[in-house]
Amino acid sequence: MAISGWFVLLVVAGVLPTIILGDPLVPVWWLLGSVALGAVDLLLAGSPRQVGLSRELPGRVRLGESAASVLTVTNLGRRTIRGVVRDGWQPSAGARPSRHPVTIPPGERRTRTTTLTPFRRGDRRTTHVTLRSYGPLRLWARQATLGAPDSLLVLPPFNSRKHLPSRLARLRELDGATSVMVRGQGTEFDSLRDYVRGDDVRSIDWRATARRSASPGGALVVRTWRPERDRRVVIVIDSGRTSAARIDNEPRIDTAFESALLLAALASSAGDRVDLVIFDRRLRGRVQGATGAELLSRMVTTMAPVEPELIDMDWASIPGLVRSVTSHHALVVLATTIDAPGASRGLLTVLPQLTRKHTVVVSSVTDPTVLDATLHRSTRDEVYGAAAAERALLDQARVAAAVRQLGGEVVTGAPQDLPPALADRYIALKAAGRL
């Protein structure tokens, strides 16, 4: 049961006859009369439990976009329901409006639409619907909370897809598919053509030349090459405690997801096979064997419910995890953090096992506020802050130098800069024939 503001005003209105009549019993009789009137109003209210509930909801939405949740309430009772319905979504679902007024005669139904604009990815859930039904006088109300579980899967936004067209154009230039021809030798055989002055004599295919020389008009034949295709790209995302830190109001793991999606879209378009692993001390997500549009669809679905675990990354398991994905040479991208030498000790320990067989790139997001802090030294507090920032940058540089010394490469950048920087490094490695 619930009381409304009208009932409170009715009780307060008893002050006037008390003052006018001056009888001390007037407030008592007034209160009793108000309660009796509220009780009658409650008896005449429709039952909030005699309703049917159904909801229409899209299965998924990207973070930052909106979705409509349409709730249908059917009055199964014999009295009209006049009241308010509230769909109990999580606060992070961004439900607006949160309450809807309804008037439902017996046997009829009404639909109410709630606009959901989630500000966190993952499963945004609702478990119940609360219905408050007032009587004709709207003094007292019946209230019931009914189970109506549902969920909306909020996918990573993939804002870095805006960088994809320019990187694909560079790949097409690299592969010779555009009018801009890039001269140079790749490492994968493409086709045979006639020798022209200026070609590298090492490219001459003597067997093909011998076969052609047996026919009239024979000429030298050279091999042409193109950048590698059908190579393996393995992306390992660290979902341990360091990935929970927020940089520019975005968790590190979300930046890693953006980088992985852009790299996967680029590598898949280039004909390479992409596998994704999300790991801390247990396997949190895995995408393997998918290509094209299916690859990105499975990746965002796998990433969506993953939240960082407040535990340290088990780096000792990573070499075996990579071997379970592929036994051949691959580009292994480790999306983690290299902020402090102590936290990176596990990474540096296993890096030689990976670089012995694979090309390894360590991707780490950096905090732009740290670099900005080194520029302000006007006050004592700013000087101390600048000293701490310089120390943090020095630690990052030490870890990056150690990674390079062990045979790996390092890509760092602010949240908005890291995804395109990683894509550029992939293109550079492909152009150099290192994949």
Q: What are the pLDDT digits (tens) for 381-407? A: 999 999 999 999 999 999 999 999 999
pLDDT at 177 over 70: no
Residue pointed to by tokens 């046997």: 107
Cut 0.85: pTM above it: no
Tell me how far apart the alpha carbons of residues 432 and 270 are, in angstroms, rounded to a whole number. Answer: 15
Q: Encode pLDDT of 300-322 as tens digits.
A: 999 999 999 999 999 999 999 99
Average pLDDT over residues 70-95: 94
Tell me the CA distances in angstroms from 377 to 358, 368, 373, one per residue in order.
Answer: 44, 17, 8
Of 2-11, 178-187, 199-208, 257-266, highest mean pLDDT? 257-266
Backbone region of residue 12 per phi and psi (left: phi > 0; alpha: psi in -120 to 50; beta: other values): alpha
Residue 217 pLDDT more than 60? Answer: no
Tell how strand 409-413 and strand 359-365 pair up: parallel
The pLDDT value given to residue 249: 87
Residue 225: the pLDDT is 65
- 173 vs 227, residue with greater confidence: 173
Above 70 in pLDDT, residue 185?
A: no
The answer to which of 188-197, 252-261, 367-376 has the lowest mean pLDDT is 188-197
Report in angstroms the alpha-carbon separations of 322 from 176, 255, 359: 32, 22, 12
- Could you tell me how far CA 235 lies from the centroid of its own chain? 16
**Cβ–Cβ under 8 Å, residues 73 and 101:** no
Angle between helices 164-175 and 252-269 (to 10 degrees): 30
Which residues have C-beta within 8 Å of that of residue 174, sequence separation ≥ 6?
182, 227, 427, 430, 431
38-41 contact pairs (CB < 8 A, 24+):
38/3, 38/7, 38/139, 38/140, 39/140, 40/135, 41/134, 41/135, 41/136, 41/137, 41/138, 41/139, 41/140
User: Residue 435 has which token pair?
Assistant: 């994949």
- Highest mean pLDDT out of 222-231, 256-265, 335-344: 256-265
Domain edges within the chain: 1-155, 159-165+229-431, 188-226
| CA atoms within 13 A of residue 147's CA, in its CB half-sphere | 0
Collapsed DSSP state (helix, strand, coil) of residue 251? strand
Q: Say what the pLDDT of residue 199 is.
A: 76
Rounded to an integer, what distance in angstroms lies between the CA atom of residue 383 and that of residue 82?
64
Pick the CATH number of 159-165+229-431 from 3.40.50.620, 3.40.50.300, 3.40.50.410, 3.90.1490.10: 3.40.50.410
139: nearest Cα among 53, 260, 45, 278: 45
Helices 5-12, 26-44: crossing angle, 10 deg rounding: 160
Please compute the mean of the pLDDT values over residues 36-65 and round it to a whole number.
Answer: 93
Q: pLDDT at position 431, please? A: 84
Cis peptide before 97 (omega within 30 of 0): yes
Q: Which amino acid, residue 32?
A: L
The domain defined by 1-155 carries CATH number 2.60.40.10: yes
Give the per-residue pLDDT at 176.
59
Q: Which carries the bigger pLDDT value, residue 164 or residue 201?
A: 164
- pLDDT exceeds cutoff 80 at 119: yes
Q: Check residue 304 and report its DSSP letter.
A: T
Which uninterrupted H or E stretch holds 150?
strand 140-155
What was the pLDDT predicted at 330? Answer: 94
Averaged pLDDT for residues 90-95: 94
Lowest pLDDT segment from 14-18, 148-152, 183-187: 183-187
pLDDT for residue 218: 61
Kindly state the average pLDDT of the residues 1-22. Answer: 86
- Residue 178's pLDDT is 40
